Amino acid sequence: MAPSGPPLAPHSALARFRVRGSGPGFAIGGAACIYSSEVTDTLQPTGPVSPRLAVALARARERREGRGRRMQPVLWGVMAAIAVQSLHASPAPGVRGRHLAVTLVLVGCLLPMAAVASNRWPLTGRPARCLVFCVLVDGFGFALGILQPGSMSTLPPSVVVLTAFLILERRAATVLAVVVMGCLTGAAAAGLDGGTDNFLHQVLFGVILAVVGIVVRQSIINEVAVTVLLAQLEDAREAETEAAALAERTRIAQDLHDVLAHTLSGLAVQLQAARRMARRDQASGDLRGLLDRAGELVKEGVADARRAVRALRGERVPSLERLPELVERYRVDLELDVTLSVIGPHRELRPDVGEALYRGVQEALTNTVRYARDAQATVTLVYEPRATVLTVEDRRTGPGPARSALVEGSGLGLTGMRERVTGAGGTLHAGPTADGWEVRMEIPA
């Protein structure tokens, strides 16, 4: 996108969405289900994000993260319950024979859950990692149920089922749940895991948690969708209001242009004719001076009228208020390493001063992108007591020829910068430095 491109179009309330996920997960509740602390990120508009929408998503993300943090103690409690129950089951964990096997299986079951709970192994948005997690927890949980019949072996399969339905796509989650149920069926048929009653309990518990996972996942997505749509609706209303106001301003601007600007232009023509007549008739110097001054005033009036027309039409006159936006566009859209520093209290400047400085920064950064893309650029705005100073400096970050040796342009950009700055009553200096290039503009203000 060009540095001076048009503003982003407002959002439509019917914008398309894509499903995406990132962030850690947490196991929660007595059923040890997995809860994503950043499910807010699973729904994002494919188009540009307005400031209002960005704020809404950030607030929703904060709510999700806060709920996730509150679930961490619950997860550690669930894992503690599994460990305590295993310690009191038979055979208990130990360091020899079957006891050692119980210890290893218990650690293998709890370790993935602890990694997820401590945010060291996030699952959301990582289907392959989620599958590995489910296989580890269910496999070790299945083995724990065989080694310790009657222990809390219901929890690991429950973790797997709910994790799948919260994080994975519906089809993959269903396949994984069927595999888990198949393992439980095989264990029950072989009489390895507490018999038919325990099998029915685990199946019922798994079905309940699958439903819970689907409901929770969908409710979170719906919450974010409502947040997005409300923000976009506000954007649409604001855009509609602005469009109506712009249409009215355009009508007024056209009337002003027809009446005022044309009248001043006609007056300027008449004054030029009067000056020629004064020179022809050898009028006094005072009269010719007054006519010249009147001509200058008319020119200024025409320029002011044109600026008023542009303002009424909604054409934004570049100013230093838009400087952060300009720098951000170069940083994001053109991938330029550029920073902005503002020193001194902000003050209002004349429109011609603000436009001259803004255009100067724009031209200087464009030259940096063109001739020294890998350089680090710094834009420094200083509000001095009697002047406004704006400096654009780029420094090379690696070996290469000097900037002056690379520039072979026509110089019209620099000439235009100088004309704008001097026209606003200031001075401009541009030239090489020890490790780059510097443009310095100073305008009394």
Provide the pLDDT confidence category of residue 361 given band limits of 50, 70 and 90.
very high
Query: How confident is the model over 389-399, as pLDDT tens digits?
Result: 999 999 876 55
Between the two ends of the chain, the Cα-to-Cα distance in Å is 33
For residues 284 and 263, give the distance between their C-alpha atoms in angstroms, rounded to a whole number. Answer: 28
Provide the pLDDT confidence category of residue 224 given band limits of 50, 70 and 90.
confident
- Residue 43: count of CB within 10 angstroms of its CB: 21
| Three-class HEC string of 382-410 | EECCCEEEEEEEEECCCCCCCHHHHCCCC
Strand, coil or helix: 238: helix
Beta strands in 39-186, from DSSP E residues, in sequence order = 43-45
The residues, any chain, with a CB within 8 Å of residue 53's CB and separated by 6 or more, are 11, 45, 228, 231, 232, 235
pLDDT at 424: 86
- Is residue 323 within 8 A of residue 361, CB to CB? The reply is yes
- Is residue 302 within 8 A of residue 257, CB to CB? The reply is no
Q: What percent of the chain has pLDDT over 90?
A: 9
Query: How confident is the model over 135-150, as pLDDT tens digits?
Result: 777 778 777 777 877 6
Q: Which of 39-53, 158-172, 417-431 has the lowest mean pLDDT?
A: 39-53
The whole-model pTM stands at 0.44
Residues in the chain, overall count: 445
pLDDT at 414: 79
Q: Which of 42-46, 181-185, 308-312, 350-354 has the lowest mean pLDDT?
A: 42-46
Tell me, what DSSP letter sits at residue 29?
T
Average pLDDT on 67-81 reads 70
- The per-residue DSSP string of 337-368 comes to EEEEEEES------HHHHHHHHHHHHHHHHHH
Of residues 434 and 52, more confidence is placed in 434
Does 37 have pLDDT greater than 50?
no
Average pLDDT on 332-343 reads 88
Of residues 206 and 365, more confidence is placed in 365
Does 270 have pLDDT greater than 70?
yes
Average pLDDT on 372-379 reads 86
pLDDT at 248: 80
Instruction: Name the amino acid, one letter, at 413.
Output: G
Furthest C-alpha separation in the chain: 124
Strand, coil or helix: 374: coil
Does 192 have pLDDT greater than 60?
no
Provide the pLDDT confidence category of residue 410 given band limits of 50, 70 and 90.
very low
